Amino acid sequence: MREVASPAFTVRAPASSANLGPGFDSLGLSLPLFTTLTVTPQAVTEVVPLGPELAGTPADERNYVYQAMLLAAGRAGCGLPPARIEIQTEVPLARGLGSSAAALVAGIVAGNELLGRPLSGAEMLDLAAREEGHPDNVAPALVGGIVVATLDKLGTHHVRLDPPPHLGVTVLIPDFELSTTKARAVLPGEYSRADAVHALSHAALLAAALAQGRMDLLPHAMQDRLHQSWRAPLVPGLSDILEGATGHGALGAALSGAGPTVLCFRDAREETGRLHAFLHGVLEEHGLTGRVLDLPIETGGTVVQRGG
């Protein structure tokens, strides 16, 4: 019989930004905005979403976090013990910052913890990637840093990279939502050989540049033909940012996941005032509002803290 986890524990899973331009469904990084679960074993199950970001989400076993906990139990072949699950998040929903991936990973890790950790990290990653359908958000949410990952019938495989020194991120988060389903629906069913070669070569160059700290290559490596141009009509100002950000202090720019958030790489040693002014100017030009945040790349991944 497995030892049950401590009477109460917390699980904290970070936000993520996927694709980074050409790395469609295979490349992502972790950001320090967190979904946090507080899990307390008790006689009956309670699901308690807290805070304005989670207003309207199910406060019962239909909640996505609880469903993720059930996934872990199913993979382990165990029943899930009852518990009180309090859910909080800093990750804005439907903005391209991996809110569903953070909830999924947090739930899977929490379910595994509640059961006494029957699943390995590799098993949890594969479970999350198969549930999402791709590993680009769940892998950095689980392990942190920058991650290159693949998903196929043999499993989920990944390489985690520590961020290059002085590589920072600025994100523009517009005040409107964009569902991943809608953003995927506009993509073509087929691509030309030229576009496929462009995607492969630029994704490979981007991964190599991040691995070796070649920040000078980012403006070239982040060029994309697979998804950003097709999604641009859904994200007013995206084309302006992709074309103009490097002229205002960015090292490169990309749509974050399915959007509408836009991510800019930058040298963390440099001031960001010029880049902020440019991004706010694009918002204003298109009659939009939003916020601009300077963030480091989160390296810790999902963390479990026992005892309260």
* pLDDT > 60? residue 138: yes
Of 92-96, 116-120, 300-304, minimum mean pLDDT range: 92-96
Calculate mean pLDDT across residues 155-174. 96
CATH class label, 9-162+298-306: alpha beta
pLDDT > 60? residue 250 = yes
* Closest alpha carbon to 125 in 135, 133, 116: 135
Q: Where in the chain is the domain with CATH 3.30.70.890?
A: 167-295
Taking residues 132-152, report their average pLDDT.
97
146 pLDDT exceeds 60? yes
* 38 closest CA partner among 73, 79, 113, 88: 88
The per-residue pLDDT for 2 is 46
pTM for the model: 0.94
Q: Which fold has domain 167-295?
A: Alpha-Beta Plaits (3.30.70)
Residue ranges, CATH 3.30.230.10, the chain: 9-162+298-306
- Write out the two tokens for 113: 């913890």
